[in-house]
Amino acid sequence: MSLPAGTLPQVLFDRYRTSPEQTAVVLRLNKGESTLTVRQLVDGALGYAARLRQAGVVPGEVVIALLPPGAELLHAFLGAMFLGAVPSILPFLTEKLDPQRYRESLDSLISVTRPAALIAEPNLADMLRTQLAHAGEVKAMLAGGAPGLQLRPVDTATLEGLRGSPDSLALLQHSSGTTGLQKGVALSHRAILRQLAAYAPALGLTPSDIIVSWLPLYHDMGLIAGFLMPVLTGAKLVLLSPFEWARAPWTLLRAVSEHGGTLAWLPNFAYNFCATRIPDRELNGLDLSSWRAVINCSEPMVAESHRLFASRLRPFGLRETALATCYAMAENVFAVTQGGIDRPVRLDRVDRELLVKEGRAVPAGGADRRTTEVVSAGEPLANCEVLVLSPDGSPLPNRQIGELALRSDCMLTGYFNRPDATASALRDGWYLTGDLGYLAEGEVFITGRKKDLMIVGGKNIYPQDIEYLINQVPGVHPGRVVVFGLFNESMGTEEPAAVVEVDPAARVEANRLGLAIREAVATGSEVTLGPLKLVDERWLVKTSSGKIARGANREKLLSELGREA
Amino acid sequence: MGTTEERLRAYLAANCLHMPPDEIPLDQPLLSTGLVDSFHLVELAIFIETELGVRIDDTELNSGTFDTLAQLTVLVEQRQS
């Protein structure tokens, strides 16, 4: 499949001219189904372009969409792009989130990103207009999804997004985070089209593919694989809501079965979730034989999760070769590697002790306690180079573990308004990923992480953000909190764990304090706290300079729980 | 065995809240606070169906149907009878 050069709106507008009545997106929301043709998708986007222009937004300015999954979100996002503005999708305010924390996080983002407009559902837009500290600095707070909204057509000849340079910014991709300064990955049209030009052949993607996705669009995997790639290449997208999928994981499988879905991307935990949380009655009659690749991506991949998923779904037609893997990051638009297309995913069985103690992946026979299985992420895409670096920055030979460094022709332009962060992430054109792994026989194997980051159900979460939330809880000794990720085998993902020093003067009853801490984390972040240990002033391990040592405290808690590090 | 409330209490304590069952306040909001998250909810529904013989549809897994242990107990007992 060849992709034209230019801007993303140009590519989409070509589809609009040549095949307007093709189905672009099937929305399966609220137990119903509706279809957007290419014409409907683009017309809605052009309406938003007009609306944003009327609100005073000009090309190059940032537009933040805070809408729930649905047609409106797609129109608003693409509309900003047609105008030549730079859209970014962020989570909307859900019931469980604390509105005050949500506003804090948005305010912190606005202070860095300086958006010209925010688009949210009417109630949220009203609340933000009056209560956001930085509301005065935003030109327009638009209500999306208001009934009876009439959008006037726009003269497409005047739209910067259809005339602009391929090197101008197409969009921002934000990772979550409240403490410190937010980082928005800024991507150009050229980078995104080059990613698709490299990724499509690695997948064997054709316009007859049908991509089924429940992934949120504020995440790179959802935004690129589960929205822009199909819409720009002509593959049909069947889009589900992450909220509905979490309560009814079989909706993904039903959509694959009913639409003849061929591709889907899932974080590792979703394999366990689908395998263990779907009652038999919801699987009856499903036919998954059209599914040619179920791609594990965005958190550490576990061989056992693949086995659970395959054995549960094989009776419903899941192909043996359907399981696939991918290593991806927003800084590279999305995919860096792809493995397991039309062939089994490679598992590397290596000696556990040499892996852990010496950082060497030495092949070992037998599946016993002394070996460990590392799942291959596949080969780098044709436009990507991956190196493994030692701590002093020199390249390491095959099967030696070090930090993965990446170079490609589809990398980020920079972190938006963050020259400091951009400079420290890139070294001589190489992006230091913070991930640890090794290369063997041309394939990439990920074994761990250098940075503190936790990946919880595919979401990147910084422990500092969770510590910040816990520090605010009355009864906690402020500053005496440490958070880290612990792998939960049955869930197939990391859970955030916390060790919290209790302030003896506060006299808060321990179980009440535990609930208050859990509630603060749940309402202030995208995750739920796993293990929590309340301790007195003697427990926490500190460095000689009095800093709380994350790694040492993690090991201490693991040994108390009787687990290996 | 125990009463419906005790069994729900034990389940929530072990699987969602990681605290002694007796300490969960009956009126503690669980869903609207995210203490029981959406991924917990599917599992809770399976537990209730297999162990307590009551079906809760996925469309009902929200705080409009139940938010506290007290409300959940009433819901399950109503459907058991």
Confidence of residue B30 (pLDDT cuts 50, 70, 90): very high
Residues of chain A in contact with residue B25, where contact means CB-CB under 8 angstroms, are: 515
Residues of chain A in contact with residue B35, where contact means CB-CB under 8 angstroms, are: 515, 518-519, 522, 528
Question: Residue with structure tokens 């937010």?
Answer: A182
Express each pLDDT in A310-319 by its tens digit.
999 999 999 9
Distances (CA, A) of B59 to A248, A494, B68: 9, 28, 17
Cα nearest neighbour of B16 on chain A: A530
Q: How many CB atoms lie within 10 A of CB A271?
A: 26
Quote the pLDDT of residue A340. Answer: 96
Q: How far is CA A493 from the centre of its chain?
A: 14
Cα nearest neighbour of B25 on chain A: A512
Decide: A480 and A548 in contact? Cβ < 8 Å: yes
If we measure between CA atoms, which residue out of A446, A502, A447, A436 comes closest to residue A475?
A502
Interface test with B, best of A282, A511, A561 (most B CBs within 10 A): A511
Confidence of residue B81 (pLDDT cuts 50, 70, 90): confident
Contacts of A355 (CB under 8 A, 6+ apart): A361, A362, A372, A374, A401, A447
B34 touches chain A (CB under 8 A): yes
User: What does B54-72 look like in DSSP terms, one character per residue?
Assistant: ----GGG-STTT--SHHHH
Contacts of A380 (CB under 8 A, 6+ apart): A336, A337, A386, A444
B38 touches chain A (CB under 8 A): yes
B63 touches chain A (CB under 8 A): yes
Measured distance CA(A317)–CA(A161) in Å, rounded: 44
Decide: A297 and A265 in contact? Cβ < 8 Å: yes
B48 touches chain A (CB under 8 A): no
Contacts of A502 (CB under 8 A, 6+ apart): A475, A476, A477, A508, A510, A513, A534, A535, A536
Q: Is B55 or A156 the better-scoring residue by pLDDT?
A: B55
Measured distance CA(A314)–CA(A248) in Å, rounded: 20
Distances (CA, A) of A451 to A146, A179, A432, A448, A520: 43, 16, 11, 9, 24
Confidence of residue B19 (pLDDT cuts 50, 70, 90): confident
Measured distance CA(A518)–CA(A527) in Å, rounded: 10
- Contacts of residues A505-509 at CB distance under 8 Å and 24 or more positions apart, as own/partner, are A506/A474, A506/A475, A506/A476, A507/A475, A508/A474, A508/A475
Residues of chain B in contact with residue A244, where contact means CB-CB under 8 angstroms, are: 58
Cα nearest neighbour of B23 on chain A: A511
Residues of chain A in contact with residue B31, where contact means CB-CB under 8 angstroms, are: 95-96
Express each pLDDT in A187-243 by its tens digit.
999 999 999 999 999 999 999 999 999 999 999 999 999 999 999 999 999 999 999
Tell me the residue length of chain A: 565
Quote the pLDDT of residue A544. Answer: 83
Decide: A466 and A496 in contact? Cβ < 8 Å: yes
Express each pLDDT in A259-304 by its tens digit.
999 999 999 999 999 999 999 999 999 999 999 999 999 999 999 9
Cα nearest neighbour of B22 on chain A: A511
* Binary contact (A528, B17; C-beta < 8 A): no
Distances (CA, A) of B45 to A100, A131, A248: 31, 37, 11
B51 touches chain A (CB under 8 A): no
* Binary contact (A277, B17; C-beta < 8 A): no
* Binary contact (A515, B19; C-beta < 8 A): yes
B30 touches chain A (CB under 8 A): no
Q: Are strands A23-29 and A32-37 parallel, antiparallel or unpaired?
A: antiparallel
* Binary contact (B42, A95; C-beta < 8 A): no
Measured distance CA(A329)–CA(A175) in Å, rounded: 11
Contacts of A271 (CB under 8 A, 6+ apart): A296, A305, A306, A308, A309, A492
Measured distance CA(A278)–CA(A562) in Å, rounded: 31
**Tens-digit pLDDT string for chain A (565 aa):** 566 679 999 999 999 999 999 999 999 999 999 999 999 999 999 999 999 999 999 999 999 999 999 999 999 999 999 999 999 999 999 999 999 999 998 999 999 999 999 999 999 999 999 999 999 999 999 999 765 556 666 788 899 999 999 999 999 999 765 555 578 999 999 999 999 999 999 999 999 999 999 999 999 999 999 999 999 999 999 999 999 999 999 999 999 999 999 999 999 999 999 999 999 999 999 999 999 999 999 999 999 999 999 999 999 999 989 999 999 999 999 999 999 998 999 999 999 999 989 999 999 977 677 899 999 999 999 999 999 999 999 999 999 999 999 999 999 999 999 999 999 888 889 999 999 999 999 999 999 998 889 999 988 899 999 999 999 999 999 999 999 999 999 999 999 999 999 998 888 888 889 999 999 999 999 999 999 999 999 999 998 888 899 999 999 999 998 876 5
Confidence of residue B18 (pLDDT cuts 50, 70, 90): confident
* Binary contact (B18, A532; C-beta < 8 A): yes
What region does A544 belong to: left with phi over 0, alpha with psi -120 to 50, or beta? alpha
Upper half-sphere CA count for residue A238 (Cβ side, 13 Å): 23
Interface test with A, best of B19, B24, B36 (most A CBs within 10 A): B19
Cα nearest neighbour of B43 on chain A: A277
Quote the pLDDT of residue A153. Answer: 67
Buried b (16+ CB within 10 A) or exposed e, A172-210: bbbbbbbbeebbbbbbbbbbbbbbbbbbbebbebeeebb
Q: What is the pTM of this model?
A: 0.94
Q: How far is CA A346 from the centre of its chain?
A: 24
Cα nearest neighbour of B62 on chain A: A247
* Binary contact (B20, A511; C-beta < 8 A): yes
Task: Give the A:B interface size as CB pairs under 8 Å.
Answer: 64
Q: Where in A267-332 does DSSP place strands (E)? A: 293-296, 323-328
Interface of A with B in 84-103 (CB under 8 A): 95-97
Task: Please tell me the distance in Å from B2's CA to the nearest CA on chain A.
Answer: 23
Tell me the residue length of chain B: 81
Distances (CA, A) of A360 to A74, A349, A368, A405: 46, 12, 18, 18
Which residue among A249, A279, A523 sits closest to B33, beta carbon to beta carbon? A523
Here the ipTM equals 0.94
Contacts of A407 (CB under 8 A, 6+ apart): A384, A385, A387, A429, A430, A431
Residues of chain B in contact with residue A531, where contact means CB-CB under 8 angstroms, are: 18
Amino acid identity for residue A374 in this structure? V
**φ and ψ at residue B54, rounded to 5 degrees:** -125, 130
Quote the pLDDT of residue A367. Answer: 67
Which residue among B25, B33, B38 sits closest to A246, beta carbon to beta carbon? B38
